[in-house]
Amino acid sequence: MSVQSRRRLPQPPAILSRRYNIAMTPTVPSRDLTFILGGARSGKSARAERLADESGLPVTYIATARIGDDEFAERVRQHRARRPAHWTLVEASLHLARALREADRPGHCVLIDCLTLWLANLLCPPESMHDDSAILPPAAIEAFDAFDRALADVRGKVIVVSNEIGLGVVPLGSVTRLYVDELGRLNQRVAAASTRATLMVAGLPLALKG
C-alpha cells in the first residue's frame, strides 16, 4: 500500500471509540499483571527486574528492542549483563502478543521491556524510515488488539514496562505527535488491564493502582 493511499485510509468509528475509551474497561481481579512506567532513567527497568527476581518463579524476559547502532547495542549489553543468567530471553520486536502467549503459563513470570520500543518498531519499520505519514497503520491496530487479548488471558505473573513521555510540550512534528498519542493510549489500555500499576520517579515508586 502506498503512502498516499494509507493517508486516505479511514478508521471505523468503532475502532476510534475503542481506542479512546479502553481505559474505562474494568480490571479482572484474578489477573496477576503489574504495569511499571516512568521517564528515562527513572529506575523502571531495574524495579521490574527486581520484582521478577523476588517472585521466586522461573522468568522469561521478552525484549522488544531492535538494535540500530553501536551506542544502542551497548545499552542492550548492559541490560543483559545485570539480568540473572538463568532467565530465558525472547526477542519480540514486532510479534509481542505471540511471544507473550507462548511464554505465559501458571507458575511462571514474564517480564516485557518495553512497550515504548515495541510501538516505535510498529510505527517506524526499517523499510519505511523516510515515511512521513502521520496515520496509524492497520497492522499496528491489529497488533494492539492481539496484545490486548493476550493480556486479558494471562495465567502466570506478568510485568510490563513502558515510558511516560506525555508530560512535556506537544511535539512539533506530526509523526512525533502520533507516536506520543499512541503510546499514551497504549499505556492507558495496559493500566486498565493491570492489577497493579507503579510510576517510577527518580528511582522511587509511586503506587498508582493496587
Residues that are catalytic: 79
Contact 124, 173 (CB under 8 A): no
DSSP line for 124-193: S-GGGTT----S--HHHHHHHHHHHHHHHT--SEEEEEEE--TTSPPPSSHHHHHHHHHHHHHHHHHHHH
- Kindly state the cell numbers that stand for 34: 503489574
Q: How far is CA 24 from CA 9, 13, 152, 181, in A?
A: 27, 17, 15, 17
Q: Which helix (H) or strand (E) holds 64?
A: none
AA letter at 146: A
Smallest CA-to-CA distance from 35 within 24, 25, 23, 48 is with 48
Residue 149 in grid coordinates:
487479548
